[in-house]
Copies of this chain bind each other. A is one copy, B any other.
Amino acid sequence: MARELYELVGADPERRFSPYCWRARMALAHKGLDAEAVPWRFTETERLAFANHDKVPVLVDGDTAVADSWEIATYLDRTYPDRPSLFGGAEAAIRFIAAWTDQTVNPALVRLIVSDIEPLLDPGARTYFRTSREARFGATLEQVTAGREERLPEFRRLLAPLRSTLRAQPFLGGATPDYADYAVFGSFQWARAVSPLPLLAADDPVRDWRERVLDLFDGLARKNPGFES
């Protein structure tokens, strides 16, 4: 039975833009495992009922369905121990790095790019997206991102611990990448897929790191439709 990864896409089924799906996709590549891409769009929750879940990523691996990017990554290391490890001995610490991304980076990032997403969606998903996000923010998408250029310095300051770590080592994993890199990279890849906003200054070590991750696995992430900033 083929391995499949359900991934959030826009109107273009090649435009994968979920940070969490990118974590799973990069984790699979790190393990050297293929997985057929199954395009999934907002509102298609019934298509995930088989996994008892309503969000992507969902990995189907033979008879096993695994939902949630963290669960997928730990499943892969557990199930394929002879392939390159995603966590090494660092699972506990990488959980913190993923949590930092979820709770510090992503809430700031969505307020910079959310208004860029709707035009890229399948028409059937646009109303859902706008309605649900505007309810969450209590503002229109355009109001949420208004003045975003002025908020870029604040966003870049949030990345200080990432920046200083990447001054000391080429990847969050050290000399080579691991799941910590993919957990953080997913967010930059989300932004790259949907927004022309130049998130990172040209001389930012974080930008150099992002380029290194874009190059991994024969440029897997670079091939995704996106903006070059």
Map CB proximity to B onto A152-166 as digits: 1 under 8 Å, 0 otherwise.
000000001110110
Alpha-carbon distance A146/B20, docked complex (angstroms):
41
Shortest Cβ distance from A155 into chain B, in angstroms?
14
Q: Hey, which chain B residues are within 8 Å of A95, CB to CB?
A: 165, 168-169
Secondary structure at the A interface, as helix, strand, loop or mixed, is helix
Is the pair A99, B161 in contact by a Cβ cutoff of 8 Å? yes
Q: Hey, which chain B residues are within 8 Å of A164, CB to CB?
A: 99, 102-103
Partner-contacting stretch, out of A55-63, A172-180, A195-203, A221-229: A172-180
Q: Hey, which chain B residues are within 8 Å of A93, CB to CB?
A: 90, 93-94, 96-97, 172-173, 178, 180
Q: With an 8 A cutoff between CB atoms, is A88 at the interface? A: yes
Can you tell how many copies of this chain the complex includes? 2
Find A161's partner among B90, B102, B168 (CB 8 Å cutoff): B102
Is the pair B104, A180 in contact by a Cβ cutoff of 8 Å? no
Is the pair A96, B174 in contact by a Cβ cutoff of 8 Å? no
Map CB proximity to B onto A126-169 as digits: 1 under 8 Å, 0 otherwise.
00000000000000000000000000000000001110110011
Q: With an 8 A cutoff between CB atoms, is A91 at the interface? A: yes
Alpha-carbon distance A99/B94, docked complex (angstroms):
14
Shortest Cβ distance from A93 into chain B, in angstroms?
4
Q: With an 8 A cutoff between CB atoms, is A2 at the interface? A: no
* Chain B residue nearest to A158 in the complex (CB): B104
For chain A, residues 73 to 128, give those with C-beta under 8 angstroms from any C-beta of chain B. 88-97, 99-100, 102-104
Determine which residue in A88, A94, A165, A173 has the highest number of CB atoms from chain B within 10 A of its CB, and name it: A165
> With A92-B180, A180-B92 as given contacts, are A100 and B161 in contact (CB-CB < 8 Å)?
yes
* Chain B residue nearest to A94 in the complex (CB): B93
Find A173's partner among B92, B100, B104, B161 (CB 8 Å cutoff): B92
Task: Give me 14 other A-B pairs in contact (C-beta within 8 A), A96-B180, A103-B160 excluded.
Answer: A88-B89, A88-B90, A92-B171, A92-B178, A93-B178, A96-B96, A96-B97, A96-B162, A96-B165, A96-B172, A100-B161, A102-B161, A102-B164, A104-B161
Interface pairs (10), CB distance under 8 Å: A90-B92, A92-B174, A92-B178, A92-B180, A93-B172, A93-B173, A96-B100, A96-B161, A99-B160, A104-B160
